[in-house]
Amino acid sequence: MEPLRILIVDDEEELVSTLGERLALRGFQIESATSGEDALRLVGKNDFNVLIVDVKMPGIDGLELTASVKHDKPELPVILLTGHGSVGEAERGMRVGAFEYVMKPIDIDALIEKILNAAARKEGRLS
Amino acid sequence: MNQEICRLRKEELAFFAEIGAGVSHEMRNILAIIGQNAGLLDDPLALARRGKLRDPEKLKQVAARIARQVDKGIEAMERFSRFAHAADERRASVDVAALVENVTALARRHVRYDGGSLETELPDEPLPVTTNPFSLQHALFTSIQMVRQCTEKGAALTVKMANKGTAAVLVVSAAAASGNDRLSRRLDELSVVTDELEGSVETSSADGVLSLILTLPIRSV
């Protein structure tokens, strides 16, 4: 079975690399971007199973990125990363089509469960 | 007069909350990175317990990343602590250069979210001034926000400071083809704070550079 392809988008480079490393150790194929602009370019050129996107980023933020992705690839699930102070924004993200949101600091097992659910939804295995 | 004091207190509270929210966001990211690195240590440690650790260098790298984030966290908390303790006394002797450095560091994240940048040009010598330190922080942060909002998204902002003998002059500027009218119309937002500082504020626009100029009287202790 092909590994799930995940794109992680966060302006905190070190968070992207460590989270990516942890998910890669668990069998996921990881790509990363540190801005919404780079993420849009990668989404345009690649076929990802799930996007993990930080809500607060300079330039194109997580909500704009989600809206743009849902416009171009409505089937691609987006999981938002957020903190307590940004829950309102994450809920707005759900309204523009995000699949779920996860609070920082991130519980890796909870995130993996959401990734698998999101990928299953994309494949039509979860209603 | 009471209305003015009420307005000042409300604005101070909003300012404190804005800085606090920015620092808490930074700390959350730092803790998130430390959390992920701690998780990365789990697998190699389990291998080490079974005597099968293949890459001890990896552990050193992860430990170094954690140490780097702890240093970032300490720096963020020290900045916030200096900022918060400025409210301890309504009149105190402060080094304006150090205060400007601290406030601009706290404001940098807010500017960066617009895709902009914020740099300082400060004299090497400290400049002690007896003033209301919290109001000075408030005036500077508000000036940075106003210049940012009156120039194009992503503008490069600079904060300069000069000792003019009887006054300390702080200049927040950015390259901008227009915006002076908008900035001038908003000067009233700063008046209650500059009154508290017994200083003055004005705008200037020349050679494509828009500036907001804060002048504070120097009163050494």
Q: Are residues B177 and B199 in the same domain?
A: yes
User: Of the candidates A18, A25, A85, which has its C-beta nearest B37's C-beta?
Assistant: A18
Q: Are residues B112 and B212 in the same domain?
A: yes
- Distance of alpha carbon A63 from alpha carbon A93, whole angstroms: 5
* pTM reported for the whole predicted model: 0.84
Would you call A105 and B43 a contact, using CB atoms and an 8 Å cutoff?
A: no
Q: Are residues B38 and B109 in the same domain?
A: no
Whether the predicted pLDDT of B43 surpasses 80 = no
Other beta carbons within 10 angstroms of residue A121's beta carbon come to 16
Q: Write phi, then psi, for B199 (nearest 5 degrees).
A: -115, -165
Q: Are residues B24 and B43 in the same domain?
A: yes
Q: Domain extents for chain A?
A: 5-110
Whether the predicted pLDDT of B58 surpasses 90 = no
**Residue A59 contacts B, CB cutoff 8 Å:** yes
- Give the end of a domain, one of B37, B52, B85: B85
Q: Kindly list the residues from chain B whose CB atom is less than 8 angstroms away from the CB atom of residue A58.
A: 112-115
What is the distance in angstroms between the Cα of A92 and the nearest Cα belonging to chain B?
19
For residue B203, the cross-strand partners are: B212
CATH annotation of A5-110 = 3.40.50.2300
Whether the predicted pLDDT of B153 surpasses 90 = no
- Distance of alpha carbon A124 from alpha carbon A121, whole angstroms: 5
C-alpha angle B61-B63-B65 in degrees, rounded to nearest 5: 70
Q: Are residues B66 and B149 in the same domain?
A: no
- Distance of alpha carbon B184 from alpha carbon B89, whole angstroms: 31
Q: Are residues B138 and B193 in the same domain?
A: yes
Q: Residues B171, B202, B169, B81: is their CA dihedral positive or negative?
A: negative
- Give the end of a domain, one of B66, B85, B104: B85
The total of structural domains in chain B comes to 2
- Distance of alpha carbon B188 from alpha carbon B201, whole angstroms: 10
Query: Please, what is the average pLDDT of chain B?
Result: 89
| The pair of three-digit structure tokens given for residue B207, joined into one six-digit string | 């050679």
Q: Kindly list the residues from chain B whose CB atom is less than 8 angstroms away from the CB atom of residue A104.
A: 28-29, 31-32
pLDDT digit string (tens) for chain A, length 127 residues? 789 999 999 999 999 999 999 999 889 999 999 999 999 999 999 999 999 999 989 889 999 999 999 999 999 999 999 876 677 888 899 999 999 999 988 999 999 999 999 999 878 765 5
Would you call A22 and B32 a contact, using CB atoms and an 8 Å cutoff?
A: no
* ipTM tops 0.95: no
**Residue A64 contacts B, CB cutoff 8 Å:** no
Q: Which helix (H) or strand (E) holds A50?
A: strand A50-54
> If you ran DSSP here, which 8-state letter would residue B54 be given?
-
- Distance of alpha carbon A53 from alpha carbon B167, whole angstroms: 48
Whether the predicted pLDDT of B7 surpasses 90 = no
Q: Are residues B101 and B172 in the same domain?
A: yes
Q: Kindly list the residues from chain A whose CB atom is less than 8 angstroms away from the CB atom of residue B24.
A: 83, 85
- Distance of alpha carbon A33 from alpha carbon A64, whole angstroms: 15
> If you ran DSSP here, which 8-state letter would residue A122 be given?
H
Q: Are residues B80 and B177 in the same domain?
A: no
Q: Are residues B55 and B155 in the same domain?
A: no
Nearest CA in chain A to B35: A105
Q: pLDDT digit string (tens) for B189-198?
A: 888 889 889 9
Q: Where are the beta strands (DSSP E) in B67-163?
A: 92-95, 117-121, 128-131, 156-163
Q: Are residues B125 and B72 in the same domain?
A: no
Q: Are residues B34 and B102 in the same domain?
A: no
* Residue numbers of the domain that contains B211: 92-217
- Distance of alpha carbon B86 from alpha carbon A12, whole angstroms: 30
State the CATH number of the domain containing residue B158. Answer: 3.30.565.10
Other beta carbons within 10 angstroms of residue B36's beta carbon come to 27
Q: Are residues B81 and B100 in the same domain?
A: no
